[in-house]
Structure 1
Amino acid sequence: MTRDTPPISRRTALRTVAGAALTTLAGCMNTNESSGTPSNGSPSQNDQGPLQRVAVDGTTVVVELSEDTDVSQVNLIQPNGELFGQRDVATGAQQVSFEIGTSYAPGEYRVLALEGEETVQESALSVQPNLSIVEMGIGKNQPEKMWNSSSDKISKEAFVSVENQGNGPDAITQLLFIGDVPYPSDEEGTNYDENDDVSGIYDPEEDTEVDEVVIEPGEQLTLYSYRSPFAFVRGEGTSCESEEQTGSFEVIIETRVGTNRVSNTYSIHYSASEEFDNCEITISED
């Protein structure tokens, strides 16, 4: 943290954590036992063979079959070659599904259509989340973005918009603020960054801290902080001073399936104040 006038020593050591979202292929099926992805990224349709469509819907792999199929069983094979699951196909059925949840191994899956013990068609499906942080802000500065714009609590909290551009679901298990924020998530503040049992994510509907938030393929959602990263606490983190200060911090989301950690870095500016908790904060993305 530095003042805009003569520099001062940082009160906190900014820990830089590399986070990168994996770029993934959209899942689809084709007619030649290999995956194929149309230019628009949507699942392709198949007019030949029993496998008409293979895609991820929410946290489920859905397999649609032709109307006159003789397929008796559909198997889903994991990227490591092991069987994920198998579904018997009832007479007249045109769809089976596999619930993959948010504990699956990302990568290329294979769907096998069987007549008896013979594989009559195979399709490949890439299942991979791709999360990114789209926007973040402070409740005090943007109350209209919070769950309740009239609550005093929102002034100390933050919102973070996250998008999943991949074609696999994921679970966000932790929301962290590391660096020159007033009350960071590490040992300079709330000290939960190494605690897997604490998410730091608030659910307005449940009015409590939740263990995780599931984000489906193509979904964009807003996370809310729970442990007041923008609250001024004397002797903790960064407080207001008589001269302006500038610094930086990271917003980090921990995930279960994808890259495990995705982050964005932001610049932060504190206005001058004679009171430790009465300055204005502005932020901008680096």
Structure 2
Amino acid sequence: MGLEPFISRRGFLRAGVLSGSLALAGCLDGSDPVFQEISFEESHLVVRLHDEHAVEQLNLIAPDGSIFSQSAVATGATTVRIEMLDLREGLSSYDHYTPGKYELVAILPERTVTRELDLRPELQVVDVQQRPDATSRSDFAQLEVTIENVGTASTWVYEFAYRGVPSRRVEDRFFFGPGIPYLNKPSQPAEIILGPNETQTYVGTGLPLLFDAESVESCYEVIEATILVGVASGEVIEKSIQISMDGEILLSSRNEYACTDLSIQLIEDNTGYSGDGT
């Protein structure tokens, strides 16, 4: 299942945090006279050049062949930071790079040097549990989902939907525009962004485990459900889970209830997504 992301006029995002060098088509080593290291740091693609380089400008070419960015290199400078990702708190738009193969072109006085960068997020659901800090009926009806990014570029989770859960309010649909964060936690853009080789724990705003007491009132059931994870690059990943209910019944005045003790297991029948939709 895929969604077209809402993209602002700039059309691209800054990238998140990546510890270590970015995977390149061709290794960087001591024999490379230009590039020393290329990595993600927070919101930027960071290019470190050798001390004796003669680079005057760096161009980053997008997968469609257009120029993503042009950066002049000051004399003596060895580090260039290219903004790749922009998630603005409280606003209704953002910028997100298009996953795919980029070309980083170093322009020297008499030649150019090109390196290929493969920028693709790949997210996987690695853990699901009842919200551990729950203190209210609404909290107990929420799930905490841990996501790992095993790709080469950053993105973020913006919302959760569910299939097969008792609450129809969260059934198989997202409420806001793709990419706009709709989460209980985390709340800060720097924490929402999920960089390569990182994990992050998210709690959505929905109440997927809020039961209707008119149909059943029991905390001794086992159900299977599917979590739908909305990703800012426009993809949706799915993960099947088994929920075993136990504990006390917390009944509301609206004849809805949550259970205080849930055990959740991942069902290994789904995979994550790669940023190009494959």
Fold shared by both chains (TM-score > 0.5): yes
Verify: 1:71 aligned to 2:55, yes or no.
yes
Corresponding residue of 1:50: 34
The amino acid across from 1:115 in the alignment is: L
* Aligned mates of 1:216, 1:76 — CA distance in 2: 20
Change (3 A) 1:150 1:273: closer
Q: Secondary structure at the match of 2:169?
A: coil
Verify: 1:283 aligned to 2:260, yes or no.
no
Conserved 8 A contact 1:239-1:277: no
In structure 1, stretches of 5+ residues that fail to align are 1-16, 19-25, 30-34, 38-43
Change (3 A) 1:204 1:75: closer
Q: Secondary structure at the match of 2:176?
A: coil
Change (3 A) 1:200 1:60: closer
Over alpha carbons, which structure has the higher Rg? 1
* Aligned mates of 2:266, 2:172 — CA distance in 1: 24
* Aligned mates of 1:68, 1:272 — CA distance in 2: 67
Change (3 A) 1:89 1:273: closer
Change (3 A) 1:201 1:47: same
* Aligned mates of 1:182, 1:231 — CA distance in 2: 6
* Aligned mates of 2:41, 2:247 — CA distance in 1: 51
- Identify the match of residue 176 of structure 1 among 155, 158, 161: 161
* Aligned mates of 2:233, 2:101 — CA distance in 1: 14
User: % of aligned pairs identical?
Assistant: 22
- Superposed displacement of residue 192, structure 1: 8.0
Moved more, 119-128 or 89-98: 119-128
- Identify the match of residue 266 of structure 1 among 232, 235, 241: 241
Verify: 1:247 aligned to 2:235, yes or no.
no
* Aligned mates of 1:124, 1:257 — CA distance in 2: 21
- Superposed displacement of residue 193, structure 1: 1.8
- Superposed displacement of residue 225, structure 1: 2.7
Change (3 A) 1:66 1:264: same
Q: Secondary structure at the match of 2:96?
A: coil
- Superposed displacement of residue 55, structure 1: 2.4
Q: CA RMSD in A?
A: 3.4
Aligned length: 232
Please show how residues 90-169 of structure 1 align to structure 2 within 5 Å: 90-101=74-85, 103-116=96-109, 118-139=110-131, 143=132, 146=133, 150=135, 153-169=138-154
* Aligned mates of 1:270, 1:67 — CA distance in 2: 61
* Aligned mates of 1:108, 1:81 — CA distance in 2: 10
In structure 2, stretches of 5+ residues that fail to align are 3-20, 86-94, 268-278
* Aligned mates of 1:204, 1:256 — CA distance in 2: 15
Q: Deviations over 1:142-177 (max 9, x none)?
A: x3xx3xx55554322211001111110102121122
Change (3 A) 1:278 1:92: closer
Higher strand share: 2
Change (3 A) 1:135 1:52: same
* Aligned mates of 1:161, 1:136 — CA distance in 2: 6
* Aligned mates of 1:77, 1:283 — CA distance in 2: 44
Q: Deviations over 1:70-110 (max 9, x none)?
A: 11111111111111111111110001121111600111111
- Superposed displacement of residue 200, structure 1: 4.8
- Superposed displacement of residue 205, structure 1: 6.1
